[in-house]
């Protein structure tokens, strides 16, 4: 699954940029997934791999990410299957301004009339519908959407007693935003992390005129992510946190909660940081020669 995601994005990063291209869903990432409760008031309403999260509060719901344009019917139906209503969503949040996460955001905003919050850098890309992305240029465009409020690092979004904190972890996008919150289950609090992403899908890391600080941003993001407390590891793609394997574990051991996985979070970051530095070294060597 990880290879499919990286191939999808990497191809977009290396194909000629002669014409703008409207993003369409990659079937392997957009298969239906039955919704389920993760922990506390946090629910999964995304696809087999595109992470979309519903957080219930006493004053309505928060929806984190949306998916491709073609993902919207699945998100709507998954919310209904859980017994909730799409029009109860009061706040829309994003992790990253790529088409596989915000391709349906303009329609979600129209249907819910919810306010949309995003980081300043990603808000600009979303307003441009993905145009002039530093990595994909005009190859993965989507319907433009206007953000109601821009967020800085450490800003908090509050609704009905629930607080989500924005952590800017740029690199994958300039405004890549990892979200954290507290969830309670069985009288015990848990730190939940919704990882934006630290993969490098075909990007030029060395002498990137369009994003000169890309390496420094990735390195700062790895440091910031490692400093976060994490009990429940979630993310923008299911492959980040082993979604399908954990669902199988949940089926075979229904009394457990495999999504409580602090060790998995640390291992994922260590592996991703190693892969990043390996790719950086390869690109640096290629420039020298």
Domain chopping of the chain, boundaries: 2-288
Q: How high is the pLDDT of residue 100?
A: 97
> What confidence score (pLDDT) does residue 7 get?
43
- Provide the pLDDT confidence category of residue 37 given band limits of 50, 70 and 90: very high
pLDDT at residue 18 above 50? no
Q: What is the pLDDT of residue 20?
A: 76
Place of tokens 């719901």: 61
Per-residue pLDDT at 116: 98
> In angstroms, rounded to a whole number, what is the distance separating the alpha carbons of residues 232 and 214?
28
| Closest C-alpha among 166, 162, 279 to residue 215 | 279
User: Is it the case that residue 79 has pLDDT exceeding 50?
Assistant: yes
Interval 176-222: pLDDT, tens = 999 999 999 999 999 999 999 999 999 999 999 999 999 999 999 99
d(CA 46, CA 78): 8
What are 164-177's pLDDT values in tens digits? 999 999 999 999 99
Say yes or no to pLDDT of 135 above 90: yes
Which CATH architecture best describes the domain 2-288? 4-Layer Sandwich (3.60)
* Parallel/antiparallel/unpaired status of strands 188-195 and 177-185: antiparallel
CB-CB contact of 176 with 201 (8 Å): no
pLDDT per residue over 236-288, tens digit each? 999 999 999 999 999 999 889 999 999 999 999 999 999 999 999 999 999 98
């Amino acid at each position: 699954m990880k290879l499919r995601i990286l191939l999808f994005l990497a191809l977009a990063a290396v194909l000629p940029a002669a014409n703008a291209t409207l993003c369409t869903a990659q079937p392997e990432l957009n298969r239906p997934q039955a919704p389920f409760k993760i922990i506390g008031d946090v629910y999964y309403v995304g696809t087999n791999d595109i992470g979309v999260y519903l957080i219930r509060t006493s004053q309505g719901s928060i929806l984190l990410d949306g998916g491709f344009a073609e993902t919207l019917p699945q998100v709507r139906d998954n919310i209904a299957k859980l017994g909730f209503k799409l029009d109860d969503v009061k706040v829309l949040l994003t992790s990253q301004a790529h088409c596989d996460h915000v391709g349906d955001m303009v329609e979600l905003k129209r249907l819910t009339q919810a306010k949309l919050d995003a980081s300043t850098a990603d808000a600009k890309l979303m307003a441009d519908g993905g145009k002039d992305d530093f990595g994909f240029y005009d190859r993965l465009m989507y319907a433009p959407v206007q953000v109601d409020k821009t967020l800085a690092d450490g800003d908090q979004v509050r609704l009905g007693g629930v607080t989500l904190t924005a952590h800017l972890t740029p690199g994958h996008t300039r405004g890549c935003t990892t979200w954290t919150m507290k969830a309670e289950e069985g009288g015990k609090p848990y730190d939940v992390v919704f990882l934006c992403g630290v993969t490098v899908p075909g990007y030029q890391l060395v002498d990137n005129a369009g994003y000169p600080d890309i390496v420094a941003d990735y390195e700062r993001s790895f440091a910031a992510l490692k400093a976060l407390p994490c009990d429940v590891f979630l993310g923008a793609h299911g492959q980040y946190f082993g979604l399908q394997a954990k669902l199988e574990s949940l089926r075979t051991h229904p009394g457990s909660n495999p999504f409580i996985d602090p060790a998995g979070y640390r291992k994922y970051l260590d592996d991703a940081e190693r892969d990043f530095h390996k790719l950086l070294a390869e690109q640096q060597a290629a420039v020298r020669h």
